[in-house]
C-alpha cells in the first residue's frame, strides 16, 4: 500500500520521471528479484497487489482501504493465480496488468493537473519510446522503428537498384504486346468473368 511520500509530479517531465521510476521497480520485481517476488505472492494470503514506486523499488502489499483511492490501484489478487498457472505465464499476466496500471497513474496525474491536448500527446510519445514491461519480461523487446527502417533501406539498396534497371525492359515488352483478335478478345472476356467469379467465391472462404 503506497502512502505517496514522494513529491507529486505536476509537469510532463515530472510525470514521465515518476513513470520511469515505477516502471524500473516493476521490472526488477519481475526479472532480477523474481524469486523474492514469487515468494511474497503467497496464495494463502489476502488479496495482494504489486506496486512500483517512483524511487525504482517495488512492494507487494494489500490495497489501500481508502475509497476512492488517492491513486489508481494495480491489479488486485495477483497471488491467487500464482499456483494455477505456469510461472512464465503468470509473470507475463502480472506484467500486462502492470503496464496498464502505469498508464493509469501517469494520466491520472495529467488529468489532475490539467494537461492539455499537446501535453498529453507529448507524455504519451515519451512513454511510448520505452519498451513495455511485458516486452521486457517476455524477451520481446522490439527494435526502434527508425533503426529498423535504416537497416532495411541499407540492406535493400542493391536489390532496389537492380529492380529499377529492369523496369524499362518490362515497360518495353508491355508496349510490344499486340491486341488479340476480336473473337479471342470476346472469349477472353468470358474467361475473365469466370475467373473473377471464382476469385470472388474463393475470397469469401
pLDDT computed for residue 2 by the predictor: 55
pLDDT computed for residue 66 by the predictor: 85
pLDDT computed for residue 5 by the predictor: 52
pLDDT computed for residue 85 by the predictor: 94
Give the cell for residue 38.
Answer: 514469487
Q: What is the C-alpha to C-alpha distance for residues 194 and 28, in angstroms, rounded to an integer?
A: 62
Q: What is the pTM of this model?
A: 0.68
Q: What is the pLDDT along the chain (205 residues), one digit of tens a residue?
A: 554 556 788 899 999 999 999 999 999 999 999 999 999 999 999 999 999 999 999 999 999 988 888 899 999 999 999 999 999 999 999 999 999 999 999 999 999 999 999 999 999 999 999 999 999 999 988 655 544 444 445 444 444 444 444 444 444 444 444 444 444 444 444 444 444 444 433 443 4
pLDDT computed for residue 52 by the predictor: 98
Going from the C-alpha of 200 to that of each of 5, 111, 188, 192, 205, the distances in angstroms are 64, 50, 18, 12, 9
pLDDT computed for residue 200 by the predictor: 37
Amino acid at each position: 500500500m503506497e502512502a505517496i511520500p514522494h513529491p507529486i509530479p505536476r509537469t510532463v517531465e515530472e510525470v514521465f520521471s515518476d513513470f520511469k521510476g515505477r516502471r524500473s521497480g516493476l521490472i526488477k520485481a519481475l526479472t532480477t528479484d523474481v524469486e523474492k517476488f514469487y515468494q511474497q505472492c503467497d496464495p494463502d494470503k489476502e488479496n495482494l497487489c504489486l506496486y512500483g514506486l517512483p524511487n525504482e523499488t517495488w512492494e507487494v502489499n494489500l490495497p489501500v482501504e481508502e475509497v476512492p483511492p488517492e491513486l489508481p490501484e494495480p491489479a488486485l489478487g495477483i497471488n491467487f493465480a500464482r499456483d494455477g498457472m505456469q510461472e512464465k505465464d503468470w509473470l507475463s499476466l502480472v506484467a500486462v496488468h502492470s503496464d496498464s496500471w502505469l498508464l493509469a497513474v501517469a494520466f491520472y496525474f495529467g488529468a489532475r493537473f490539467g494537461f492539455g491536448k499537446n501535453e498529453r500527446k507529448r507524455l504519451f510519445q515519451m512513454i511510448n519510446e520505452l519498451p513495455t514491461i511485458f516486452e521486457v519480461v517476455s524477451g520481446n523487446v522490439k527494435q526502434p522503428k527508425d533503426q529498423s527502417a535504416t537497416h532495411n533501406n541499407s540492406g535493400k539498396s542493391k536489390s532496389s537498384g537492380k529492380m529499377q534497371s529492369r523496369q524499362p525492359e518490362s515497360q518495353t515488352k508491355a508496349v510490344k504486346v499486340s491486341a488479340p483478335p476480336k473473337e479471342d478478345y470476346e472469349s477472353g472476356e468470358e474467361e475473365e468473368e469466370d475467373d473473377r467469379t471464382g476469385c470472388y467465391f474463393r475470397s469469401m472462404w
